[in-house]
């Protein structure tokens, strides 16, 4: 666990926030700092590794068994979400956690409360790693990165541990939906793969949201308010009207399980012009298409009402990977068995989000998602128990062992 903790703390110290406004790949040059570090660490272990022009680290550990074993990949992303600051992260470590509230920042009265997050109780006695209340932590997905690196190191240090060919992949820009846009599946060389990008211990997911992003621009007309009658068009009011026309019950606050949503993630406006950004999600493909049709119809209605002042840019992000994974369901079964071998109770559930594995599955690489161990991703209340990360690393090795056997 010391190796695991050391790696995790070194990785979260590197700022890797991806940038949705950038058109480059990777979207933020600072992501390359960690990617280069990982490549160099892999090379130092004696593992063949390279970093390509698009920010993908690909590495390969040759098989050490005479058996015919399919090449298995393990993938994690290095970028952190732009939803909260990922700069100057100052992790706090609480050994032998007492099961109560954790004060993250006394000065700002930021507290991780068990009343809000009752699941914290299951980690009593463990080592909790939290933020200092001013940034996110980066366990999404640097916990996954550290787990893969520790498993790789174990395999290199224990030649008696038999395995087939192992492929390792680290990607940028997953948090902005562009993680594997230019990922070369054929070059990667895995027959099957797993992303280590899930949440709490035990999570195993092979279905996810269908996803799209909507950018909406409202063009107003600013007239002196004293003379604005029948002339002023306040873009902010139209934007508010648009948002109110979307179903309230389909906001994230009111949805769970397989229920989809419209999520307003940013709004910036003046009388003259306003921009809104939404993400649209649903596990059911038909309902997903209905949501896209609804937001399109709302824009059309407002344009008829106010005279073509609203523009909509609707972009597809990814589809539900279930249809691509189910024909190879034995890879899910091996993950379930690997968890049981590690003493972890599996929690099979749909991802209320997405991973690189969703797009990879549609690119010909079936890729379920396994827990990395963290909670409260994308915010200042993010935390991860060290023991959950250790179990995830054990699950990786167990999957490798099961394929080799």
Catalytic residues: 79, 174
DSSP element (H, E) containing 101: none
The angle at the Cα of 57, spanning 37 to 163, to the nearest 5 degrees, equals 105
CA 324 to CA 211: how far, in whole Å?
A: 16
**Which tokens sit at 162?**
């038999």
- Reported as half-sphere exposure (CB side, CA atoms, 13 A), residue 16 has a value of 32
The residue assigned the tokens 């968890």 is: 339
The whole-angstrom distance between residue 93's C-alpha and the CA centroid of its chain comes to 23
CA 79 to CA 28: how far, in whole Å?
A: 9
- Reported as half-sphere exposure (CB side, CA atoms, 13 A), residue 150 has a value of 27
CB 104, CB 111: distance < 8 Å: yes
CA 328 to CA 200: how far, in whole Å?
A: 25
Other Cβ atoms closer than 10 A to 2: 7
């Amino acid at each position: 666990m010391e190796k695991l903790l050391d790696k995790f703390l070194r990785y979260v110290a590197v700022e890797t926030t991806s940038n949705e406004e950038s058109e480059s790949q990777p979207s933020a040059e600072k992501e390359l700092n960690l990617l280069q570090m990982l490549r160099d660490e892999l090379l130092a272990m004696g593992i063949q590794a390279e970093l390509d022009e698009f920010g993908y680290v690909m590495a390969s550990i040759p098989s050490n068994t005479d058996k015919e074993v399919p090449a298995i990949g393990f993938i994690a992303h290095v970028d952190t979400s732009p939803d909260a600051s990922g700069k100057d992260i100052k992790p706090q470590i609480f050994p032998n956690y007492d099961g109560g509230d954790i004060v993250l920042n006394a000065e700002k009265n930021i507290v991780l409360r068990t009343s809000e997050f009752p699941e914290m109780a299951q980690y009593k006695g463990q080592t909790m790693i939290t933020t200092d209340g001013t940034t996110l932590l980066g366990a999404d997905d640097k916990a996954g990165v550290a787990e893969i690196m520790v498993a790789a190191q174990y395999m290199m240090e224990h030649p008696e541990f038999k395995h087939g060919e192992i492929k390792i992949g680290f990607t940028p820009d997953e948090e902005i939906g562009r993680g594997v846009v230019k990922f070369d599946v054929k070059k990667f060389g895995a027959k099957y793969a797993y992303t280590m990008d899930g949440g709490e211990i035990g999570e195993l997911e092979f279905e996810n949201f269908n996803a799209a992003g909507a950018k909406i621009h409202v063009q107003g007309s600013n007239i002196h308010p004293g003379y604005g009658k029948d002339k002023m068009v306040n873009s902010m009011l139209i934007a508010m009207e648009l948002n109110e026309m979307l179903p309230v019950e389909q906001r994230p606050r009111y949805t769970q399980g397989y229920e989809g949503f419209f999520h307003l993630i940013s709004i910036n406006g003046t009388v003259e012009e306003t921009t809104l950004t939404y993400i649209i999600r649903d596990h059911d493909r038909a309902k997903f298409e209905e949501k896209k049709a609804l937001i399109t119809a709302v824009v059309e209605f407002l344009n008829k009402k106010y005279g073509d002042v609203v523009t909509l840019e609707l972009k597809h992000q990814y589809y539900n990977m279930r249809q691509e994974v189910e024909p190879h369901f034995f890879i899910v079964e091996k993950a379930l068995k690997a968890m049981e071998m590690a003493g972890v109770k599996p929690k099979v559930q749909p991802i209320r989000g997405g991973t690189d594995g969703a797009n990879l599955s549609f690119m010909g690489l079936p890729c379920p998602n396994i827990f990395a161990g963290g909670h409260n991703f994308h915010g200042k209340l993010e935390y991860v128990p060290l023991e959950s990360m250790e179990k995830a690393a054990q699950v990786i090795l167990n999957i490798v062992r099961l394929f080799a056997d």
